[in-house]
Structure 1
């Protein structure tokens, strides 16, 4: 009898959930109150987010990441990114071909298929997509309204349908949310098996707390069935949310790029020379090249895809006082022309796949004599920082003190020397 009663309660809750979902698409937020896990159909009303967050901001909020924070409707793009960056082009192609099958299977089974294809055989210690790649794309999908609602609560618990390893860095480092409930990936001798472990039930964390999610379907009922109050947002409202501004995240700087590929050097219209990272050797090489004519130097060492400039190496300032800053801004609509962990030989192919890439080249004024190292008496660091500021201003970028080694430590866990 208790078993039948429990099933009846879940069925009742599911039916109420579906009725609300179908009849309330135009209403921004729904508030429901519960008594001992049983929904009380006579105790719900519609509220704006500004009113309910002020009432309960000192309580614990349990929110569904995909439903309450991210604007994206499908999880497929995130797994496609993992498959390509961590597994390579062939794995990504397999996942792409399986997409119609994944769509037909529905959320639960489709999710398991995407997890298996994306992660099976990937070495755990080398999986850096969750720390170096995915956060950028998660941030671009965060709705500012959902973010503001979540941030008003003192204690926040995130629940996700995705494997925990995919989101914990993004939530902890960039949003300051360190309690994440998600399934762990099974592994064998340091390699992912592509299967998720059935760990702690998320509903146990929701007792007497506040719940926040989206009611596009009823799969959230298990998460929120034991919350004393839940707030649900419609898909229609989420589409209207502006994207979270960069300045609102705790750590907006995300490095995501790599070195120039050998193939790109071969097809380059000008001769290229790789530096060795040894100061004396590089100085001799640059002087030799400069004696033959003009020399183009990338003092940043490597680039990032965000509007920031890394600290410039001051070596160029020591070699000559004849310095002309050049700012280059490349804009693409579909693919980036560089990858840090994928097939480098395909960089140019991906770049040319963009329908309408644009490249803006701005040749700035030559440095005045008083602003140089040898003639002007400025230190090499002052000259390098001055050139960095000039280029950053022209591009609308922000200067940083981070070096190439800092960038690679975040991106790949090494100093960038291969």
Structure 2
């Protein structure tokens, strides 16, 4: 549907987010994620308990907006607006992207944001929750959505600044009704300027599009790579979109899962190494081992096992796969994790020369050392850039490709309490590790680097890139040039640096 009312050089394509662009218009999952990630577990449970009341309000034609206000009050009151924005940047985009309707996105994205056409989205959800997703993944220039009332210090009061505008926005355009003079948002001032722009409104799809959707039954979600910007990094503990049924399942499982995780951690950390496979089977920890398990290096020397980094437990599962003890090198690991570790750990300082000498010393003593050159965990199907430090530490290097499978909780976090990462991973009903041992690198790639003759045959950077590509091709992961600071800058607003702690 086109509206002609101005110069064709100034065009907007407008669409409603909930109910048209997104498959499910229920806002509950997104408020639950805000309550859990920006608030606490208690706040999330309170929102879950309020769901029956909100559901009844939604079913009433007179109190539909009251359900949204109830969600906002419970999920947001007392939180800093910047914390809600952080969840909207790091957690929500993946769940929102999974709900984008393929047919709707094909129509909406056909209006290119180049030249004279601008995309505008209308939503009833609070602006801080959507701003990052709308700008980055959907490529929209403007978002018309309610803001949150906040104190001077930035604490949310739990109320929307104004009623959701999407119900009467397109009516004002269609019938040329001027916008309220009380509106202060820049987007609305631009949209409702003296020269009315051409508006291509795709909002409710009205009768024709609704009938077409029912006829086709097209509920297929868009492929993530088809969005303007794919979701590369994401945070948060929950694996699946927390619909009311899924959220109830998660909350009911949590006490059982936590007890199970504690048993898994403490029994495995105290049991002899030979008992680990039996304990893993007993507690339903699945380990899949592929490839040829490497023997010990000749001459009593040690070796480096170079892995991609999925969780903090990578070295422990590599040790289980080898059926012998290894040494894990760590950087920003909590003292609790070091205390509970059943294998030796050595802390690095992120000082190239000192770390290199420490790695060489371990290898020369005959230790088999697990090193993760990415420098941080990555839960996505991509590999961060590999540090080249390991290429100079040993001439016996074995790449190990690691894939993990979880059903309820992610075992990594950029913003959360990192000491809980292993517990969350082991809270899954059947946490799964897949280890693929690859052939040892040939001597011509490692000997000169280990001797310090970088560039004689193959440089340390070429070795690092080769190992990254080898692991990436084995797992089907994309090899990226992203680094640890890139990840933390996006997810947590920091560069990921940690102040060294001295014993």
- Corresponding residue of 2:225: 247
Matched, 1:88 2:30: no
Aligned twin of 1:290: 363
Q: Note if 1:118 corresponds to 2:75.
A: yes
Aligned partner of 2:380 among 306, 309, 320: 306
1:181 aligns with 2:144: yes
Is residue 311–residue 402 contact of structure 1 (8 Å, CA) maintained in 2? yes
Residue 233 of structure 1, CA deviation: 6.5
Q: How does 1:133-172 map to 2 (within 5 A)?
A: 133-153=91-111, 154-172=117-135
Q: CA deviation at 1:344?
A: 3.4
Q: Answer yes or no: is the 8 Å Cα contact 1:214–1:234 preserved in 2.
A: no
**Root-mean-square deviation over aligned CA pairs:** 3.0
TM-superposition CA deviations, 1:20-65 (whole Å, max 9, x none): xxxxxxxxxxx8x9999xxxxxxxxxxxxxxxxxxx9x96332110
2:466 paired residue number = 386
SS at match of 1:282: helix
Q: 1:307 to 1:148 in 2, by over 3 A?
A: same
Q: Structure 1 pair 399/192, CA: closer, same or farther in 2 (3 Å)?
A: same
Aligned ranges for residues 222-261 of structure 1 at < 5 Å?
231-232=209-210, 240-257=218-235, 260=312
For 1:97 and 1:348, how far apart are their aligned partners in 2? 29
Q: What is the aligned residue count?
A: 355
Mapped contact 1:165–1:184 kept (Cα < 8 A): yes
Gaps of 5+ in 2: 59-63, 112-116, 175-198, 237-310, 313-332, 499-503
1:219-368 to structure 2, matched below 5 A, reads 231-232=209-210, 240-257=218-235, 260=312, 262=334, 263-292=336-365, 293-368=367-442
What corresponds to 2:159 in structure 1? 195
Gapped regions of structure 1 (runs ≥ 5): 1-30, 37-55, 216-223
TM-score relative to the length of structure 2: 0.64
SS in 1 for 2:71: helix
Shift in CA distance, 307/149, structure 1 to aligned 2, threshold 3 Å: same
Cα separation, 2, equivalents of 1:148 and 1:233: 18
Shift of 1:87: 1.0
What's the CA shift string for 1:354-405, capped at 9, x where partnerless? 2333221100111112222347721111111110000111111001111101
SS in structure 2 of the partner of residue 156 of structure 1: strand
Cα distance in 2 for residues equivalent to 1:201 and 1:368: 65
Q: Secondary structure at the match of 1:98?
A: helix
TM-score, structure 1 length as denominator?
0.76
